[in-house]
């Protein structure tokens, strides 16, 4: 009795296996008759159409093509510009750019962000590119995200659609969040984090020496082609420093 049932089960399993194998084929011809494939195999083995859809590749943000046109550059910020702008001026001379500098001593994102001084210089210079270096005077401000967020946003609002690069402060001690705040508000590829670099400092212990500022600017330029949202032509200059076309020096706000 058991042997009879065993034989029957073997026949059923073998028949099902043959049927399943035929279902996996595109088509099969038996004695001149074309048998179309069953959907059983695909429903049991294959993924659904939604599972098998491969999403299109996402475009890579970097590197961006380098803008080889001559630029009208506006460089704004605090006293850190004293060391940075002569090297940037050398790059400008080498690459056919014009550099104008608005250096506001002891300034902060709040000072720039609560007035229209930046808009004034944008209207005056009509820049095609803006460099910013701000934050060094705000490294240790408590609750900085709450206190300065609206000012950082207003600076960027005044810049509008003009390509820009915000250079972070050269930390000499851990900050309370100014770098994080700037990075959060700027577009990806528009903020250079200087924190973590090694600088030789002037006697005040904060400002990089002139030679160290040259290395700082060179590091920014090397970073730009592969990481900057708006890289511009910045071939290595033959001289260490040069003069800007114009320097506007603003005294500390009382």
If asked whether residues 14 and 139 sit together in one domain, one would say: no
If asked whether residues 92 and 28 sit together in one domain, one would say: no
If asked whether residues 171 and 207 sit together in one domain, one would say: yes
pLDDT at 50: 46
Distance CA 54, CA 149 (A): 40
If asked whether residues 240 and 130 sit together in one domain, one would say: yes
Listed ranges 29-33, 38-42, 50-54; the one with the highest mean pLDDT:
50-54
If asked whether residues 7 and 121 sit together in one domain, one would say: no
The neighbouring-strand residues paired with 75 are 101, 131
pLDDT at 109: 98
If asked whether residues 98 and 30 sit together in one domain, one would say: no
3-class SS at 104? strand
If asked whether residues 238 and 114 sit together in one domain, one would say: yes
Tell me the whole-structure pTM to 2 decimals: 0.78
pLDDT at 24: 53
Q: Is 38 among the domain residues?
A: yes
Could you tell me the CA-to-CA distances from 62 to 186, 222, 232 in Å, in that order?
16, 14, 14
Q: Model confidence over 105-134: pLDDT tens digits?
A: 999 999 999 999 999 999 999 999 999 999
- Residue 30's domain comprises 2-47
If asked whether residues 43 and 78 sit together in one domain, one would say: no
Is residue 32 scored above 90 in pLDDT?
no
Distance CA 188, CA 62 (A): 10
Q: 137-174 burial, b for 16+ CB within 10 Å, e for fewer? A: bbbebeebeeebeebbebbbebbeeebbbbbbbbbbee
Q: Is 56 among the domain residues?
A: no
More confident residue, 134 or 27: 134
Tally of domains within the chain: 2
Q: Is 66 among the domain residues?
A: no
Is the distance from CB of 236 to CB of 87 less than 8 angstroms? no
More confident residue, 194 or 25: 194
Q: Model confidence over 94-105: pLDDT tens digits?
A: 999 999 999 999
Q: Where does residue 66 rank: exposed (0-12), middle (13-18), buried (19+ CB within 10 A)?
A: middle
């Amino acid at each position: 009795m058991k042997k009879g049932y065993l034989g029957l089960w073997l026949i059923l399993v073998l028949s099902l296996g043959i049927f399943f194998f035929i279902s996996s084929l595109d088509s099969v011809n038996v004695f001149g008759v074309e048998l179309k494939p069953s959907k059983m195999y695909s429903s049991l083995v294959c993924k659904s159409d939604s599972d098998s859809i491969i999403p299109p590749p996402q475009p890579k943000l970097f590197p961006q093509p380098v803008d080889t046109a001559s630029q009208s550059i506006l460089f704004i910020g605090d006293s850190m510009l004293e060391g940075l702008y002569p090297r940037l001026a050398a790059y400008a001379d080498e690459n056919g750019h014009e550099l104008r500098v608005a250096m506001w001593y002891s300034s902060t994102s709040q000072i720039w962000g609560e007035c229209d001084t930046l808009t004034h210089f944008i209207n005056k210079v009509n820049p095609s590119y803006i460099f910013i270096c701000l934050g060094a005077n705000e490294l240790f401000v408590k609750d900085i995200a709450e206190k300065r967020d609206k000012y950082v946003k207003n600076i960027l609002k005044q810049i509008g659609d003009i390509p820009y690069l915000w250079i972070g402060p050269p930390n000499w001690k851990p900050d309370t969040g100014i770098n994080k705040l700037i990075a959060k508000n700027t577009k990806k590829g528009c903020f250079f984090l200087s924190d973590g670099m090694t600088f030789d400092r002037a006697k005040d212990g904060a400002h990089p020496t002139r030679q160290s500022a040259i290395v700082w600017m060179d590091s920014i330029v090397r970073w730009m082609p592969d990481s900057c949202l708006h890289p511009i032509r910045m071939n290595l200059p033959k001289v260490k420093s040069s003069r800007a076309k114009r320097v506007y020096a603003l005294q500390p706000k009382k």
